[in-house]
Structure formats: structure tokens, C-alpha cells
Structure 1
Amino acid sequence: MRIPPRIARILATTLLAAPLALANASPAQAIGPAILPVTVTNNSGRADAVHLYVLGTNLATGRLGHVNAAGTFTPWSGGQIPPSPAPDVSIGGPGNGGSSTIRFPRGFSGRVYFSLGQKLQFFLTPDGLVQPAPWAGGDPNRSILFDWSEFTYNDAGLWINSSQVDMFAVPHAVSVTGASGATKRTGDLVANGRDAIIGAIRAQAGWANTVITRSDGTVLRVLSPGKAADAGLLSPTYLDSYIASAWNAYTAKTLTVVPFTDQPNTRFFGRTSGTVMTFTNTSGAQVASFNRPSSADVWGCAGNLHAPNDLVVGPIARTLCAALNRGTLGTVDTQPSLNAAEFYRNNPTNHYARIIHANMTDGKAYAFPFDDVGAFESLVHDGDPRSAGIILTPFTGGSANPARTIVGPGGKCVDVSGDDTGGNGAAVQLWDCQSWAVDQRWTRNGDGTLRTLGRCLDVVSGGTANGTKVQVWDCNGTGAQVWAPQADGSLRNPQSGRCLDSPGGATANGTRLQIWDCNGTGAQRFPLS
């Protein structure tokens, strides 16, 4: 069974704890350096001083503590009831346009906080750390611009994600580079993405108060719907009508849950009676039941949707919560749905998740606790990491990696087969251009690669012969993944000396793309929009 990629979300009013993901991690031989360098780059465009904090859990001892810039772990000590101020363990971060290095010791899990302009205030109890909770009245960090990334570094590698589960505040991307030199990166916004998210959420009826602005006019954050509802800034019953409709749909039909992509024969079948949905397995035995959840349960994937760390109830609960947040429960009867074009079409819907995903260059985000169902989360992992990165990206203006469509013959878009879930080896093809299609958004990077879904446009097996197909593959720095735009609108692969090509100039949906001798014909015109 794969290690669940979700790094467990910790409620900011509780103690920092180890990720739930680790409960399923099987023992592994230690690989990667004992101390992993993490470069923090400041491309925010802001002049504020940056303060960094590396806080979390020593996985060997279970002790809560902090890590300094050199990667040394120190457990917390002291603490009182009521909580007493924690010592200042901030690390000076980079100025705008600069970078600095922090380090993760292997066997550590937690968060990297970054605050702009002011240091954060943390507090200690006898049991551990109380974290900032800017959605709560009286929290001393409410007027500070800050955010965080979450990570786990253990013998199975590094997981690091940009999180929007509680709020969206400081735009940032995360990356990891493995032993092969290949780098994976996620979390980049489209150009002017922060402003677009703020404006779009303000425009939704009933959501304007979830945008929090400081007295000097700085937009500090957009609260997730659960946090906003808890603070009285969004209707606590906002999603109830949709939940009732979706839940009641299964009084007359069966919901099929297939929670493990690598176990397609593991299936559970749900039917609703009254307000209770009961699930049976393939043998007909009852294995789980859920009372109809409230809006708060859906926003937090908690309460009636609590997901224990087991192999039956937890996987079903996660799937239900993702389907309710994405609005596919009730209309898509085999879950999880992996087609992003089906998401957020219900009314009312989770506009927060919808808008954040729509403004990510690769479409991936952690906008609710189980946004990793179907691998739609903004997370990167490497089993043998050599370095990692946290990049504070522009608050306004252009993105460092703007997403573009590549329009080819017949006005069709360059597309990845598999409904936005293309893994290594997924075919690259022509398809009707669709504004919602994440796998039709490509970023051109400084190394000459074209990327979508966290992978690179790649010539199969590094081939150089006419007719060699192209695919998406983990970015690995080889010549098979370098594409040079030409004046005639073609994309040339310098390693092979050939151009991206539609066989015979075909324009039909599903036409598999290849490389061919550059010839200046319409079959090879693939300009980046």
C-alpha cells in the first residue's frame, strides 16, 4: 500500500504533532543526507523582512521542538497553563530577490512558517506548542502576514507541500531535487494569481468577509470556509442543502467507492436510509455507516466524516469528504471521481477550493484536508532527496512560471491522456481546448522544459528517430525533455534535431504526437499562447 501523501493537518490551536501519513509508512533503509539543505527563495516582490521557523516532531522520540538553521533539533521545555510565551527561535530569512538555506534533519516532521514584516508569537503548555490561529479572536498573530509549508523527512524520503487547508495568504511553491538531479515543483500561481483569488472569492455571494485585510490595506489572508464559518464570517449551514441532496440521491441508487487506485477490486457499496449511509463490501457484509454530515464536517473532513487510520472506514470517509467538497457526490456514482472537469459544478459549492485550484499553474492545491484524494494536492515527494526548496512567489504581476496552452493543428490543444491524472508514460495528444483542463496548461521553464501535472514533455526513451512518440515523464534534466521554440511556431527538440509533430497533419481528438524532421508545415506549428 502506498504511503498516503497527505501530511496531517494540525489545528493551529492544538499541539504540533507528527503526520498521520507516517502511521502507514513501512520501514525503509535510510537514504538521502542526514541533514537535508532547503533553499528558501524570496521572489515575493515585497520589502518586508522575512522570519523563518522550523517546528515539529522528532519522529524517533516523539518529542516536540524546533530546528535551527544548521538542522539541529532542540525539544521544547517549560510551558504553563495558561500558555507561556515560547522562546524566539526564528531564523533570519532572505530579502526580496535573495535566498537563504535552512536544513531538515532526517526523522523530523512539521512545518516551516514564514512571516513577513513581524515575528510570530508562539506559546508553550506543559505538553507542547500552541500555534498561531489568526482566525480566532484575540490571537496575537492576526495582523501579521504569514503562511507555512508542511513536510516529513524520514527514511522513505521527503514529502513537502504548500498548504491552503486553513487559509491562503503568502503565495509560495515547493520543490525537491532527487539523486538523479530531477526536480519536482508545485504550488506556483498563474500570473496575478493572488489578486485573482482574492477578487474572485470576494465576488461570491456570502464570501466577501472571508477575505481579511489589515488596517493599512494589506490583504493578509483568505480563510478557508471551515475557519471562516467558525469565526462567524460565512454561513455555518452554507453547504447543507447540497449535502442533503447528494446524501439522499443514494436512497434510490448505489454509490460505489474504490478507494485504492492500485486495488481496483477493493470496492464498497453505499446506500442511504433516512440520514444514514451504510456501506457493504463485495461479500455483502456491512463494514461502515455514516450519519449525514454537516457543512462543518465537510469543510474539516471531521465529525461524521472522521477518517480513522484503517483500511476500510478511513478510506471511505476520505473519499466521501473529497466528493462532497468537489461537488461530485450524488451525480458521479463511482468515487473518487478523477475528472477535474466534473468538480465544483454544484450550487452551492466550495468556491474557495474551486478558485484556488483554478489559479494554480498545474491545477494542484491543498484546499481542504483530503484534497490528496485522486492526487490533486500541491505536494512533491522524492524517495532519495538531495535538496529541497520553498519559493515565495510574486504577490502581484507576472508569475515566474506562467501557465499557457499550446495550440496545434486544427486549433486543438496539446493535452495529456487520463483526465488530468497523467502519470509517467501518459500519452501526449491533441484534444479540444478546454478552459478547465489542467493538463492543457503548460509552463515553460528556464531549463527549456515544458511542464504540466508536475511532469515534463518527454521523448519516449530519449529516442531520436522520426516517429518517436512523446509523453509526460518526471523531469530529469535530459535532452529528451528540452524544447526550443522556433520562429515558425514549431517546437524543436535539440537532442534529436527534430520537431514536435502531428502525424500526417491529423487534427482528430486523441492524435498521439511524435517527433519528425522539422519541415515548417502546419503539422508542426505549436505556438505557446
Structure 2
Amino acid sequence: MRTTRVLCTIATAAAVAVGTLTAVTPAQAAVPATIPLQITNNSGRGDAVYLYDLGTNLATGQQGWADANGTFHAWPAGGNPPTPAPDASIAGPGNGGSVTIRIPKFSGRIYFSYGQKLVFKLTTGGLVQPAVQNPSDPNRNILFNWSEYTLNDSGIWINSTQVDMFSAPYAVGVGTQTTGHLKAGGYNAVLNGLKAQAGGWAGLIQTAPNGSILRALSPGHGIETGALANTAMSDYVNRVWTRYTSSTLTVTPFADQPNTKYFGRVSGNVMNFTNSAGQVVTSFQKPDASSIFGCFNLLDAPNDLVRGPISRTLCAGYNRGTLLTTASQPDNNSADFYKDAVTNHYARLIHSQMVDGKAYAFAFDDVGNFESLVNNGNPASATMTLDPFN
């Protein structure tokens, strides 16, 4: 089973964002070892809330968790089969209330769950994250969600994410910036939109034994469960392949490097990209829906300066349906997004219901800065708001 890629996404986003921040000068105060994170519960639910701060200690490289005071605890050794992890839960706020915890210099996740504590286990390779596309996952019937963050010497990056699933609504903030709030009625609008969308999209929705809705899986995970066919994007891909057999797709992956361009042409089952000197720099096989929705496998994006940036651009173009709109990519005009009948309807619906239009509905939704991310180079605090479901 494919592992989730969300933590990789925030790390990539942070790396990109760092380049856009004003450099920290000696006159500026250093980022403290921990900062306060205020969690406010506006959900309207009476369930107990449990919080978890899990991630990688950036000073030591160790995986572990932080308690409410921001003190780091390394995970003990795991086993095979996986062994129970220590209880890292922190009591969250009741409805209408707030709690403040301190978060350390981590690259990790802030989980929150309603009504039940989450189940975490440890293998010899580290923490087993929840993977509710697996019907045997112990967290399958728990209502939960998470935010991702990186806090380091250059500041904080914190986002709301739907890369793996759309579930309990929340928003994040730092300074005067906030992101992740749904429009009034947006939670139900996303779910009802999936129910109405032909082609298996309703099968992304998971319910609890009592029939209540827990979440909608991302389409990549929907392919894993059999809800969506791996041919879900084939018609669009075939049209892209036909077009660029006889014309050229130009990719300019770096906004600050307009002269760095790559040129794609299809030959048989392969799209080859050349540089300005006419040299082939990378090639992509015809992608399936899983590769497109997950931005991996046939659209793998290594952390380099050529294939990775081209792949990110292609992935955004396939998910947003812009590769046939213009032969110059990325297309950062949101008016062009999700217009084709064959598209990532999950991403389309989520973006349409966000107050600011921004979301992390697929791994490289940050192409063109359409991701739900806020950052600050000298943060004094951050916030997370658990929002109403209606």
C-alpha cells in the first residue's frame, strides 16, 4: 500500500517559501525554541478533543512527539509487527473553549480527534501514520484530521491539508494571516458535490458504523479502495497525448527564472522534455490516474532542479485540467482550472468551497501558490481553529 506523501509536501512548500521570505538579519530576534499554538474549538460538537504534536526534531533528526509544554520525547524502538506507541495525547478544548500548547522546532503534524484517542504504533522504521484507506486501520472509524507545520530558525510554515482526505474542518493562522476556513455550508457542499458526481466519486466518502460521515478520501486513495478506476483520467490524458504529438508543451517551472524553459513532445508512449539546447533532460511515460492524483509513480518528482520541477508542473496541469487550455505551463489563471469534464473533482469541489479559494487538495497544489499555507519569518504564535461542520 502506498504511503502518504503529505509530510513531503509541506517540506517542499517550506523550501519554496523560504526563498520568498526577507532574509533574517542580525537585528531581528531569533526564532525561539518553542512558540505558543492556540487551539480554539468552534466546532459546535460536544465530543472530547484530543491533540497530538508529532514529527521530526530538526535539531537531532529524531522522530517523536512534543507534550503540551513543547518538550520533545523520542519514540522508543518499534517492532515487527508494530508495537503500541506511548500515549502522546494532549487534552484539547471543549466546544467554545481554547487551549494553548507550545510547539517546538519540528517538521510534523498537529493531529486532532473527536470522541476517541487515535491509535499510533511503531515499527522498526518509526511511526505508523493513520491510513484510513486501509479498512483494517485502527483509526478507520474515528473522526480526526491534522495540520502540517515546519518551525525552524527561518520561521514557521503551517497549512491545512486535504492531500489525503477531506474531514473535520479547521483553519490555521500566524500573525494576521489565516487560511483553511470553509464557506458557510461548505463542508456539506463538498460532500454533496461528490455524491452527485458520476464516475465513482461518491465512493470516496467513508461513514462510521452509525452512518455518520467521517471523511472523503482523496481520489488517489479512492483508487486504492476501488472506489475510482485507475482509468478515471484516461480520456483527458489521451487528448493531451494527441495534442503534444504534433505540438510542443512549454514548461517554465520557476517563476523567478523565466528563461529556464523545457519543451515537451510526445513520441509513442513517452513525453520527452528537452532544454533550450535541444538535449533530452527527462522523459515521462503516459500517466495513469493514480500517478496524477498522487503526483508520484509515473509523475515522480525528485528533489532536483529538472525532473522534479517539470513533474510538479505537469501534475498541477493534469489535476487542474489546464494542459489543453494553454501550451505554456504552469497556467496560473484560476479561471481556467477544473473546466474539463474529466478532472480532479475532489480538488475542484474543495477549492470552490474555501473562503480564500486555497487548499492543499493534491500534493503540488502549491504550483502558482494556490495552497492553504501561511508563513512568518519571526513568529510569536500560531493558531488552529476547529470549525463548524455546517
User: TM-score normalised by the shorter chain: which range applies?
Assistant: over 0.9
Distance of 1:216 and 1:18 partners within structure 2: 34
Counterparts in 2 of 1:314-333, with a 5 A limit? 314-333=308-327
Distance of 2:177 and 2:185 partners within structure 1: 23
Counterparts in 2 of 1:20-169, with a 5 A limit? 20=12, 31-106=30-105, 108-169=106-167
State the Cα deviation string for residues 237-284 of structure 1 (Å, max 9, x = none).
111121121122111111111111111111111111112111111222
Query: How far off is 1:21 after superposition?
Result: 5.2
State the Cα deviation string for residues 433-479 of structure 1 (Å, max 9, x = none).
xxxxxxxxxxxxxxxxxxxxxxxxxxxxxxxxxxxxxxxxxxxxxxx
Query: How far off is 1:60 after superposition?
Result: 2.1
State the Cα deviation string for residues 57-106 of structure 1 (Å, max 9, x = none).
01122110000000011110121100011111100000011110111113
Change (3 A) 1:16 1:304: closer
**Partner residue, 2:285:** 291
Helix, strand or coil at the partner of 2:293: helix
Structure 2 counterpart of 1:19, which letter?
Answer: A
Q: Is the 8 A contact 2:170 2:384 kept in 1?
A: yes
**2:189 is the alignment partner of 1:196:** yes
Counterparts in 2 of 1:41-440, with a 5 A limit? 41-106=40-105, 108-177=106-175, 183-205=176-198, 206-396=200-390
Q: Is the 8 A contact 1:162 1:172 kept in 2?
A: yes
**2:10 is the alignment partner of 1:11:** no
Q: Is the 8 A contact 1:170 1:395 kept in 2?
A: yes
Structure 1 counterpart of 2:187, which letter?
Answer: R
Helix, strand or coil at the partner of 2:52: strand
Distance of 1:69 and 1:248 partners within structure 2: 56
Query: How far off is 1:46 after superposition?
Result: 0.6
Q: Is the 8 A contact 1:226 1:296 kept in 2?
A: yes
Change (3 A) 1:138 1:86: same
Distance of 2:256 and 2:8 partners within structure 1: 32
Q: Is the 8 A contact 2:325 2:336 kept in 1?
A: no
Distance of 2:4 and 2:316 partners within structure 1: 22
Structure 2 counterpart of 1:115, which letter?
Answer: S
Query: How far off is 1:126 after superposition?
Result: 2.0
Distance of 1:357 and 1:47 partners within structure 2: 28
User: Which runs of no fewer than 5 residues in structure 2 stay unpaired?
Assistant: none
Q: Is the 8 A contact 1:259 1:267 kept in 2?
A: yes
Q: Is the 8 A contact 1:58 1:64 kept in 2?
A: yes
Structure 2 counterpart of 1:151, which letter?
Answer: Y
Structure 2 counterpart of 1:338, which letter?
Answer: N
Query: How far off is 1:142 after superposition?
Result: 0.5
Distance of 2:8 and 2:298 partners within structure 1: 24
Change (3 A) 1:122 1:145: same
Q: With the length of structure 2 as denominator, give the TM-score of the two structures.
A: 0.94
Q: Is the 8 A contact 1:158 1:382 kept in 2?
A: yes
Q: Is the 8 A contact 1:45 1:97 kept in 2?
A: yes
Distance of 1:101 and 1:373 partners within structure 2: 33
Q: Is the 8 A contact 1:35 1:71 kept in 2?
A: yes
Distance of 1:245 and 1:14 partners within structure 2: 30
Change (3 A) 1:224 1:185: same
Structure 2 counterpart of 1:199, which letter?
Answer: N
| Larger gyration radius, structure 1 or structure 2 | 1
User: Which runs of no fewer than 5 residues in structure 1 stay unpaired?
Assistant: 1-9, 178-182, 397-529
Change (3 A) 1:224 1:231: same
Q: Is the 8 A contact 2:263 2:273 kept in 1?
A: yes
Q: Is the 8 A contact 1:13 1:133 kept in 2?
A: no
Distance of 1:36 and 1:13 partners within structure 2: 26
Distance of 2:354 and 2:277 partners within structure 1: 42
Q: Is the 8 A contact 1:307 1:313 kept in 2?
A: yes
Q: How many residues align?
A: 381
Percent identity between matched residues is 56
Q: Is the 8 A contact 2:169 2:386 kept in 1?
A: yes
Q: Is the 8 A contact 1:124 1:130 kept in 2?
A: yes
State the Cα deviation string for residues 482-505 of structure 1 (Å, max 9, x = none).
xxxxxxxxxxxxxxxxxxxxxxxx
Q: Is the 8 A contact 2:205 2:213 kept in 1?
A: yes
Q: With the length of structure 1 as denominator, give the TM-score of the two structures.
A: 0.69
Distance of 2:253 and 2:56 partners within structure 1: 29
Query: How far off is 1:158 after superposition?
Result: 0.3
Change (3 A) 1:78 1:13: farther
Q: Is the 8 A contact 1:23 1:309 kept in 2?
A: no
Helix, strand or coil at the partner of 1:208: helix
Distance of 1:311 and 1:16 partners within structure 2: 16
Q: Pairwise CA RMSD of aligned residues? A: 2.0
Distance of 1:254 and 1:294 partners within structure 2: 21
Structure 1 counterpart of 2:115, which letter?
Answer: G
Q: Is the 8 A contact 2:6 2:163 kept in 1?
A: no
Change (3 A) 1:296 1:18: closer
Distance of 1:16 and 1:257 partners within structure 2: 23
Distance of 1:31 and 1:305 partners within structure 2: 39
Query: How far off is 1:160 after superposition?
Result: 0.3
Change (3 A) 1:209 1:278: same
